[in-house]
Structure 1
Amino acid sequence: MIEFIVIVESGADARTATKLAERILMEQIDWLEPELIKDIFNWSGLQVGTEHSCWSDVTKIIDDAKDQLR
């Protein structure tokens, strides 16, 4: 599975961005069928279990990740 990290302003932006990306992928990859997208591509945020991350939270997310490495 190919994972894409989605960093946006809001949930609505995430839905718009992922649908637009899926549309572009469908146009560019001849063999890609709509029902295959969910099995090949995964859209997520920077943190495990999230669907997207917000720009305003990125610094905190990075700092939290650094703290976990220590």
Structure 2
Amino acid sequence: MEEKSVDEQLTSREREILQLLVEGKSNKEVASKLEISTRTVESHRANIIRKLHCHSFSDLVRYAIRNKIVET
């Protein structure tokens, strides 16, 4: 069985949330735009950080941009 690359492990919703966060949107703004709760955004954010083996949000942003997971 072939292993997925780290960024392929993200769901489409996680990618969508990551893109908005990298664009500088707050958790509250992302929640409002996607019509979900702030807590759901926080959960997705924590899962993304865990899946991509980052230690902080700033690490996540750098990783996502460097590895072209998001558009800049």
Give yes or no for TM over 0.5.
Answer: no
More helix by share: 2
More strand by share: 1
Give the TM-score of the pair, scaled to structure 2.
0.31
Highest Rg: 1 or 2? 1
